Chain A
Amino acid sequence: MIPPIVLLVAFSGIFVTLAIGIILGPISKKFAYSMGMLGAGLGVLVSLLVLLGVGTVSIDLWQLTLTSSAQLQLSQFNSYFLLVSSLVWVGTCLFSITYDDYPNALSSLILLTILSMLVILVSGDAITFLIGWETMTIASFFMILEGKGSHEGVRHAAYLFLAFGEGSTVFIMLAFSGISSSVGNFDFLGPSSTSAIGPIGSLVFVTALIGFGLKMGIVPFHMSEWLPIAHSSAPSNASALLSATLTLMGVYGFMTVIARFAHIELWWGWLALVVGGISTLLGAMFSSVSEHSKGLPAYSTIENNGLIVVAIGAYLVASYYRITLLADFAMIAALFHAFSHSISKASLFLTNGWISKIKKSFDLNNSEKVSGTGVSSTRLAGLFTVLSLSAAPPLAGFVSEWMVLELLFQSFKFGDLASQIIGTLVGGITALAAGVIIVAMTKVYGFGVLWSVRAGKPKENSQDSLIVGSLVWFLIIIVAVGAAAPAIFLLASNAASQILQTHAFDTFVTGLLGVPAYFVILSGNPFGGFSPTFTAIFLLAFLSIPAIISTYGSPWRVRRTGGWFAGNAQPTSPSELYNSFGYSIPIRIMFRFLFRTKESVVQVGATWRTMILLPEEYVVELEVVDIFKELYDVAAKWALWLSSYLSRKVMPGRLSLYMVYVMAALIFVLIYILFTVG
């Protein structure tokens, strides 16, 4: 047995290493990132130990109020999230050691963001949580400002991120005040807190949904997710952090708040299902028509977070109807999807980021030749990432997506007709989104990473074994999480045991039909089941037969020829190749009501002569718009107008007017006291 002091030391070690890294960042970024890697590695270790039941950590910091104190605590629930985040942080820091060619300050900012996320995850009370949340927002703001896009675009993106971030803080504060007013103290985030919220529960739920949804990127707040990443061209390691782990903080916060409720209303579940379903579909749609190698994964994050919210919604409805089997499965599905999404998304950002850096372009239509050692390993890692995000068995993404869909298939078990209908419709939307996201994933991988013109001089890149190492790290985790899914199920059920009060692992992981125990995951009893481990073994065996035959069997000749271009020579420039824009044109045209597609062909520069047409020039354009962005632009215009109106008319700087305001406020307060006290 491991004495608890070891856990404590390791836990503090995380903070210490990160702090050292932040301080020494401006001097040497490689050192900073190595410190970050070390700290994240300690985080993996500690969280695994806690999850496996070795012990918990709880540290009281200082007294807040009479009844509550600031705490840092590590229980099984938040150590699950710490595990996921730390795995991402290890890979990202490893990647950044050689990838980063930004100013040294960026390394400090990244480590500061990581530290603040750590604080969020391990905080035991609302105040520490909010401190961490704010620090994270501000550090990310500065991180985004380091982006390499146009100056205007970078500032716009950063300020937008800050605005939405502050908005989320406001709503979270509201939610926390609601909770604390009914619970009575501030340190309700630990496992030992009671959960009785009372009549303002709906208000708390909605504000929490909005507040954490702003960070997760749920429609209609998704602009805070894709715009900063896409338009600022933030550095890839920052984008990976923003998309994968920042949104995970939103998930963690939301789930923590949900766990505090003793009494759940039905319409909460409906709201979460609908909002999550719409986010899933819209995220997938916009992802498949995006041409930005960062914007596309950013939209896909919206889709995946939507899936998590859908799972939580199903949990809420099932809990309302006390269908414990379904509720347990829903919670595990949400947790599992958080794991698989974070890992896959971080890996996708890093893969794309490196290739985009070599090509010096974020445009997916830029198919210049890329070569070098390590590019093929990158392509392999990218392939598995994309397969995982497209839900291909037996990888991580498949298991979690399967779980969510199985969940919605069982919506017939809900108590009343309305819930069943909503569950079915949301299931349909989710399945559609799962199909559309495949277009997006093949696009971003095929055009962004894999294909290029054959002819021409390739862009050089230096050999980067650390970058490749980080991508291989993610690759291993993706495959492991997929193939050894029952093990992750165990971790997730340990994490969820505080919320569910049951041990879901025993219910859902069994042996079936000859497959030995602990290898089959059931989705209901009885409903469906699947063994990822055995699928992986079967695939490996099946695919290795031709490999062995071709290596050791009769020697097959291999002859390589070029591509077939209808008899023409190999294309030398990207404008002769089918490109990513053309690949997703059918979606833009089919869903023109959603995208407001406009096609225009304008003839400039030639006229009809009497008999013949002279060489013509055309300018063609096809544009799609995000209707929510239009709405936000309108709202932003109004907000600016309102604030300038207020600053001109209401607060113009005239002392006499301010005196009037002071007098009016004094009178108001006096009247109020008179009426309430008297």
Chain B
Amino acid sequence: MLKVWILRGIRKGVLTTVFPKAPPTIAEIPERSVPPTVAETSDWLTGASICPTKAIRSDSKMVDLERCIYCRCCAEAGFTFDQAAESRTKSLQAKLNVKSQLDEFTKRQGTIRRSLHVLMIDVGSCNACNHEVLNLANPYYDLTRLGIFFTNSPKHADALIVVGALNKAMTDVLKRTYESVPDPKFVISVGACAASGGIFQKTESFVSPIQDVIPVDVVIPGCPPSPIQILEGLLLVNNRMSKEVMTR
């Protein structure tokens, strides 16, 4: 039966994406992962009242990606969504949260390029971000070729991936987990819920964005971000993204 699998594998070809050697393809960045872009017809006041998560700031005239859940309600207020393949595949949404301490971050990265062990902790998510993070292990993305591995225990981890809107019941757990990770450590928050609470900001159990509880290095917005977008964030930590991209 073994030859069946070998033949099947040869017949199926290579599924794995070549990212980051080449930009991601359209299939890897779904249509709804594109954030709103400001157009001349954008009406800030209407947008601010329509947006369910208050991501559109009429005072500072910007779209707070950390809050955006990509629901497209603001289309009614004149915001557009740039679906062109070019921009879809070239926009990096993951953001480094350490602008002022870039040197320290670089020093902490050290030689982590070939081996970054990651633990995913869910503090109250809807399970979509969990699925997307675990999807990184499937043959299409295969994060082990980039030197990233999943672990079971924080004591073996270099980085924590935090998903979900922080729930009261999980605050202590998050703090204990963060403490158990040995130095030097990194924290990556994935999804709008982790970055700001997303659509769950007003629930009775929501505590705060993750940044207020533990120091976060990379913030990846999205609801949920597609696996390539999560991978971009991981590569920022992994030191496999170029420095110019990092300081954008």
Direct contact of A and B (CB under 8 A): yes
The interface of chain A, by Cβ under 8 A from chain B, is: 557, 559, 561-562, 564, 567-569
Which interface residue of B154, B155, B176, B180 has the most chain A CB atoms within 10 A?
Answer: B176
Q: When the two chains form their complex, are residues B177 and A567 in contact, meaning their CB atoms are under 8 A apart? A: yes
What is the CB-to-nearest-CB distance from A217 to chain B, in angstroms, rounded to a whole number? 43
Which A-chain residue is minimally distant from B121 (CB atoms)? A567
What distance in Å separates the Cβ of A561 from its nearest Cβ neighbour in chain B? 5
CA distance A232 to B176 in the complex (A): 45
Structural contact, B183 and A557, CB atoms closer than 8 A = yes
Asked whether any CB of chain A lies closer than 8 Å to the CB of B172, the reply is: yes
A567 and B155 alpha carbons, distance in the complex (Å)? 12
B168: min CB distance to chain A, Å: 14
Q: With A and B bound together, what is the CA distance between A561 and B180 in angstroms?
A: 6
What's the minimum C-beta distance from A595 to chain B, rounded to whole angstroms? 33
Closest partner residue, chain A, to B172 (CB atom) = A569
Q: Check if A564 sits within 8 Å of B172, measured CB to CB.
A: no
What 1/0 flags go to B146-177 for Cβ under 8 Å of A? Answer: 00000001110000000000000000110011
Which of A557, A559, A567 meets B176, CB within 8 Å? A567
Q: Which residue of A lies closest to B182 (CB)?
A: A559
| Contact of B155 with A564 in the complex, beta carbons under 8 Å | yes
6 contacts between A and B (CB under 8 A): A561-B179, A561-B180, A562-B176, A562-B179, A564-B176, A564-B180
Q: Which residues of B contact A559 (CB under 8 A)?
A: 182-183
- Tell whether, in the assembled complex, residue A564 and residue B154 are in contact, meaning their CB atoms are under 8 Å apart: yes
With the chains together, A569 CA to B176 CA distance in Å?
8
Interchain CA distance A562-B154 in the complex, whole Å:
12
Minimal Cβ-Cβ distance residue in A for B154? A564
Q: In the complex, which residues of chain B have a beta carbon less than 8 angstroms from the beta carbon of A562?
A: 176, 179-180
Other than the known A561-B180, A564-B180, what 10 A-B pairs have Cβ atoms closer than 8 Å? Answer: A557-B183, A559-B182, A561-B179, A562-B176, A562-B180, A564-B154, A564-B176, A567-B173, A568-B173, A569-B172
In the complex, number of A-B residue pairs with CB atoms less than 8 Å apart: 19
For the complex, give the distance between the alpha carbons of A568 and B180 in Å. Answer: 12
- A370, chain B: closest CB distance, angstroms: 25
Q: How far is the CB of B34 from chain A (nearest CB, A)?
A: 36
Cα–Cα distance between A557 and B180 once the two chains are bound (Å): 15
Instruction: Chain A residues near B153: list those with CB within 8 A.
Output: 564
Nearest chain A CB to B99 CB, angstrom units: 26
Count the B residues whose beta carbon is within 8 Å of the partner chain — how many?
11
Nearest to B175 among chain A residues (CB) is A567
- Cα A562 to Cα B173 in complex, Å, equals 13
Q: Tell me the bound Cα distance from A493 to B240 in angstroms.
A: 67
> Residue of B at shortest CB range from A559?
B183
A361 to chain B, nearest CB (A): 31
Chain B residue contacts of A557, Cβ below 8 A: 183
- Give B181's nearest chain A residue, CB to CB: A561
Q: For the complex, give the distance between the alpha carbons of A242 and B187 in Å.
A: 59
Least CB separation from B174: chain A residue: A567
Q: Which residues of A contact B176 (CB under 8 A)?
A: 562, 564, 567, 569
Q: Give the residues in chain A near B173, CB-CB below 8 Å.
A: 567-568
For the complex, give the distance between the alpha carbons of A419 and B153 in Å: 53
Instruction: Tell me which residues across on chain B come within 8 A of A561, comparing CB atoms.
Output: 179-180
Q: How far is the CA of A428 from the CA of B177 in the complex (A)?
A: 46
Residue of A nearest to B155 (CB): A564
For the complex, give the distance between the alpha carbons of A93 and B40 in Å.
95
CB A416 to nearest CB in B, in angstroms, measures 48
Chain A: which residue is nearest B177 at the CB level?
A: A567
Which of A562, A564, A569 lies at the interface centre, i.e. has the most chain B CB atoms within 10 A of its CB? A564
B244 to chain A, nearest CB (A): 33
Nearest neighbor of A564 in chain B, beta-carbon distance: B180
**Interchain CA distance A289-B182 in the complex, whole Å:** 36
Whole-angstrom CA separation of A91 from B78 in the bound complex:
90
Query: A363 → chain B, closest Cβ, in Å?
Result: 30
Within 8 A of A (CB), among B103-117: none
How far does the alpha carbon of A568 sit from the alpha carbon of B177 in the complex, in Å?
A: 10
Enumerate chain A residues within 8 angstroms of B155, measured Cβ to Cβ.
Answer: 564
What is the CB-to-nearest-CB distance from B162 to chain A, in angstroms, rounded to a whole number?
13
Q: Which residues of B have CB within 8 Å of A564?
A: 153-155, 176, 180
By Cβ-Cβ distance, the 9 closest A-B pairs, closest first, are A567-B173, A564-B180, A561-B179, A561-B180, A564-B155, A564-B153, A567-B176, A567-B177, A564-B154
The digit string for B176-199, where 1 denotes a CB below 8 A from any CB of A, is: 110110110000000000000000
CB neighbours (8 Å) of A567 from chain B are 173, 176-177
Give the docked Cα–Cα distance between A559 and B180 (Å): 10
Q: How far is the CA of A568 from the CA of B179 in the complex (A)?
A: 13
Complex: chain A residue closest to B176, CB-CB = A567
Q: What distance in Å separates the Cβ of A30 from its nearest Cβ neighbour in chain B?
A: 48
When each residue 123-167 of chain B gets 1 if its CB lies under 8 Å from chain A and 0 otherwise, what string results? 000000000000000000000000000000111000000000000
Q: Distance (Å) between the CB of A220 and the closest chain B CB?
A: 47
CA distance A567 to B180 in the complex (A): 10
A569 to B155, CA, bound (A): 16
A272–B176 CA distance with the chains assembled, in angstroms: 58
Q: Write the B205-247 contact mask toward A (1 if CB under 8 angstroms, else 0).
A: 0000000000000000000000000000000000000000000
Q: With A and B bound together, what is the CA distance between A568 and B154 in angstroms?
A: 13
**A562 CA / B180 CA spacing, docked (Å):** 8
Least CB distance, A12 to chain B, in whole angstroms: 63
Tell me the residues in window 77-97 of chain B with beta carbons closer than 8 Å to chain A beta carbons: none
The answer for the CA separation of A8 and B214 in the assembled complex, in Å, is 78
Q: How far is the CA of A655 from the CA of B154 in the complex (A)?
A: 86
Please measure, in the bound complex, the distance between the C-alpha atom of A179 and the C-alpha atom of B173, giving whole angstroms.
75
**Across the two chains, which residue of chain A brings its CB closest to B170?**
A567
List the A residue with the shortest CB-CB distance to B183.
Answer: A559
- Closest CB-CB distance, A559 to chain B, in whole Å? 7
Residues of chain A lying within 8 A (CB to CB) of residue B183 = 557, 559
CB distance from A191 to the nearest CB of B (A): 62
Nearest CB of A to B122, in Å: 11
Closest chain-A Cβ to B110's Cβ sits at a distance in Å of 15
| Residues of A contacting B172 in the complex (Cβ-Cβ under 8 angstroms) | 569
A residues in contact with B179, CB < 8 Å? 561-562
Alpha-carbon distance A641/B40, docked complex (angstroms): 108
Residues of chain B lying within 8 A (CB to CB) of residue A568: 173
Contacts of B154 in A (CB 8 A): 564
Q: Which residues of A contact B180 (CB under 8 A)?
A: 561-562, 564
Give bound CA distance, A569 to B182, whole Å: 18
Residues of B within 8 A of A569 (CB): 172, 176
CA gap between A567 and B172 in the complex, in Å: 8
Give CA–CA (A564, B177) in the complex, Å: 8
Instruction: Give the distance in Å from the alpha carbon of A626 to the alpha carbon of B10 in the complex.
Output: 59
* Cα(A200)–Cα(B153), bound, Å: 68
In the bound complex, what is the Cα–Cα distance between A557 and B183 (angstroms)? 10
Expressed in whole angstroms, the Cα–Cα distance for A568 and B176 within the complex equals 8
- What residues on A are CB-neighbors of B177 within 8 Å? 567
Which of A561, A567, A568 has the most chain B CB within a 10 Å cutoff? A567
Which residue on B lies nearest to A567, using beta carbons? B173
A557–B154 Cα distance when bound, in Å, is 19
- Cα distance A557–B177 in the bound complex, in angstroms: 20
B61 to chain A, nearest CB (A): 42
* Cα–Cα, bound, A578→B3 (Å): 45
Complex Cα distance, B154 from A559, in Å, reads 15
Separation in Å of the B218 CB from the closest CB of chain A?
A: 22
Distance of B59 from chain A, by nearest CB (Å): 40
